C-alpha cells in the first residue's frame, strides 16, 4: 500500500514503459474539462444576454404604454380645440351637414340612339 501511494506521488505511472496509455487518458480528461468549462461560460453568457433583453423588452413596453396614453390625451377633442383656440381657430357653432351627391345614370348605347 505504501509503495503504491509513494509511486503515485512520485508520478511513476507517467514515466513507465506503458505510460503512453496513461498520457492519452490524461489528455482526454483535460480536453473534456476544458470543453465543459467553455460550455458553461457560453451558457452563462446566453443567460446574461437573455436577462438583458428581457429588461429591455420591459422598458420598451412601459415606454410604449406611456406614449400611447400621451397620444390618447392629445387626440381628445378638448385638447385639440384648446390648442386651436390659441391660434384663433374656434369650433363651428353650426353643425355639419351631410352632402349627398347623386350619380347621373349613364344611358346605354341604344337609349342614346332613340332620343
pLDDT digits (tens, 9 = 90+) for 80-90: 888 888 898 88
Position 60 confidence tier, pLDDT thresholds 50, 70, 90? very high
Q: Taking the alpha carbons of 48, 49, 50, 56 in that order, is the dihedral positive or negative?
A: positive
Contact 15, 6 (CB under 8 A): no
For 10-14, 58-62, 75-79, 108-112, which range has the lowest pLDDT when averaged over its residues? 10-14
Distance CA 93, CA 108 (A): 46
Q: What pLDDT sits at residue 91?
A: 80
Q: What average pLDDT does the segment 40-59 reach?
A: 97
Give DSSP secondary structure letters for 34-52: HHHHHHHHHHHHHHHHHHH
3-state secondary structure of 8: helix
Amino acid at each position: 500500500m505504501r509503495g503504491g501511494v509513494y509511486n503515485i506521488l512520485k508520478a511513476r505511472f507517467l514515466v513507465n514503459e506503458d505510460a503512453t496509455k496513461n498520457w492519452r487518458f490524461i489528455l482526454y480528461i483535460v480536453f473534456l474539462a476544458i470543453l465543459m468549462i467553455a460550455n458553461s461560460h457560453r451558457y452563462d453568457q446566453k443567460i446574461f444576454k437573455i436577462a438583458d433583453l428581457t429588461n429591455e423588452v420591459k422598458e420598451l413596453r412601459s415606454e410604449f404604454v406611456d406614449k400611447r396614453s400621451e397620444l390618447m390625451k392629445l387626440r381628445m377633442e378638448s385638447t385639440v380645440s384648446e390648442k386651436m383656440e390659441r391660434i384663433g381657430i374656434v369650433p363651428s357653432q353650426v353643425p355639419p351637414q351631410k352632402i349627398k351627391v347623386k350619380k347621373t345614370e349613364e344611358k346605354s348605347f341604344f337609349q342614346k340612339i332613340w332620343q
